[in-house]
Amino acid sequence: MQEITFRKPSDLHVHFRDGPMLAAVVPYTARDFRHALVMPNLVPPVTTTAMAAAYRERIMAAVPEGLDFTPLMTCYLTDDTDAGDLVAGFRDGVTVGAKLYPAHATTNSQHGVTNIRNIRDVLVAMADAGMPLLTHGERVRPDIDVFDREKFFIDEILVPTLEEIPTLRVVMEHITTADGALAARSFGDRVAATITPQHLLFNRNALFEGGLRPHLYCLPVLKREEHRLALRQAATSGLPNYLLGTDTAPHLRRDKEADCGCAGVFSAPVALEAYLQVFEEENALDRFERFATLNGAAFYRLEVPQETVTYVRRERYVAEQIEVGDQSVIPLHAGKSVGWSKLGAGAEH
Ligand code: NCD
Ligand code: ZN
């Protein structure tokens, strides 16, 4: 296939940050996606409906003219979340979900939930309202190996919660293992999972290829080859439980190339093309629209976008770096090329 046309996709997991970084990165996502579901792990985190509404305005101010783009907002759950405010924000259409960051699991998660029992009433209120819970699915304990964190989360937190609150709807964010892929399809349409491009493209060897590769360091960390293959099978299966969510997570180059470097892959400038490469390699381009557009719209009960986009099989060079003030961020595939290019206006990144 030399060309593919599909309805404009939704990126159901992005980090836009704030200030100059927000201004630099929002245009990449807004050009390629109809919606983006925006993570709330700012400093300080977006913990209330009012904060989510204010953040939405700052994002809209960074969207280039003429693009039909909608940010979908989320709140960050803490031990002290006010269930009334949270659910009112969802019912009023300000937010589409709430994010569970286990404390200390990832970037800016220090205000996260210390014990799932502390938010039981909040989860029940969310279930009653039909408000999805979005999970950073890692169990963080000194005795749990970093590569096993996802499985421990599924067994010790996710499955017991789904069983205890049978109407709660959950998105397992950025699954990285075969266990994650299996769990996501084991609860009917109550549970879905986002899958990032880097977890489809790379196994953990890539972190050490020729030396330490900080720009491929993200959380959850890349896993073994068997897990990458299971994720590719899941994403291309056509099942409704798997959603496009890039987890594009920009950090300044100096913060990535540092001792105690930050976790996150900045994929927004090439994410769509990277997913297309995976679907092409798996002979599944005919299922791309389900993963990229339709499954997410169904789970989040969004209108299916009508605008279509066309990508052609043509190489496109990816910039070495992108400026943010007097600093820079390094995109996925920096200085290399991707095999697909968007046709028409706004195609140049
Ligand atoms: C994300 C970030 O930088 O905010 N980092 C990452 O490695 N994915 C946080 C997250 O999604 O875990
Ligand atoms: Zn993320």
Tell me, yes or no, whether 325 lies in a domain: no
CATH number at residue 139: 3.20.20.140
Please give the residue range of the domain that contains residue 215.
Answer: 9-303
pLDDT at residue 347, as a whole number:
46
| Residue 40 backbone dihedrals phi, psi, to 5 degrees | -100, 15
Q: Which residues pair with 71 in a beta bridge?
A: 36
Kindly give the number of the ligand 1 atom that is closest to the alpha carbon of 250: 3
Tell me, yes or no, whether 224 lies in a domain: yes
* Interatomic CA distance for residues 204 and 231, integer angstroms: 14
With beta carbons less than 8 A apart as the criterion, state whether 107 and 85 touch: no
Tell me, yes or no, whether 4 lies in a domain: no
Kindly give the number of the ligand 1 atom that is closest to the alpha carbon of 101: 12
Please tell me which residue in 11, 32, 179, 247 is annotated as part of the active site: 247
**Cβ(41) – ligand 1 distance below 6 Å:** yes
Q: Which ligand is nearest to the CA of 255?
A: 1
Over range 301-328, report the average pLDDT.
97
Q: Is the pLDDT of residue 348 over 80?
A: no
Tell me, yes or no, whether 332 lies in a domain: no
Tell me, yes or no, whether 121 lies in a domain: yes
Average model confidence (pLDDT) for the chain?
97
* Interatomic CA distance for residues 73 and 75, integer angstroms: 7
Domain total for the chain?
1
Q: Is 189 a catalytic residue?
A: no
Tell me, yes or no, whether 339 lies in a domain: no
- What are the tens digits of pLDDT across the range 128-141? 999 999 999 999 99
* Interatomic CA distance for residues 151 and 72, integer angstroms: 28
187 pLDDT band, cuts 50/70/90, is very high
Q: Is the pLDDT of residue 279 over 70?
A: yes
13 pLDDT band, cuts 50/70/90, is very high
Tell me, yes or no, whether 330 lies in a domain: no
349 pLDDT band, cuts 50/70/90, is low
* Interatomic CA distance for residues 304 and 274, integer angstroms: 23
* Interatomic CA distance for residues 130 and 124, integer angstroms: 10
**Cβ(15) – ligand 1 distance below 6 Å:** yes
